[in-house]
Amino acid sequence: EVALDAATGEIFDARDARPQLDATRIREALTEQGYRDVRDLDREGALWDADATDRDGARVELRVSGFDARVVSVAVDDEGDDD
């Protein structure tokens, strides 16, 4: 799966030669960035989707670069853990 970051134009392609981070490293990086209760990690191509709690205590859905663990997008999780 290939994805495009509309804000930056960056292409996320799992076939890219850059090394990709595993779930453990993604979870560690998100924790270092201030997210708590990181759960439901799911890789889609070169991006990871995750649910977490942000610094303000809000449940959020994250889209994370598999290359450098940078958060590409954040959305408020309206559904909580019911999915």
Q: What are the pLDDT digits (tens) for 11-28? A: 899 888 899 999 999 999
- Which two three-digit tokens encode residue 75? 């959305």
Q: Who wins on pLDDT, 12 or 1? A: 12
The values of phi and psi at residue 41, to 5°, are -70, 130
Give the pTM: 0.85
Helix, strand, coil % in the chain, rounded to nearest 5: 10, 40, 45
| Predicted local confidence at residue 80, as pLDDT | 55
Residue 51: its pLDDT value, please? Answer: 98
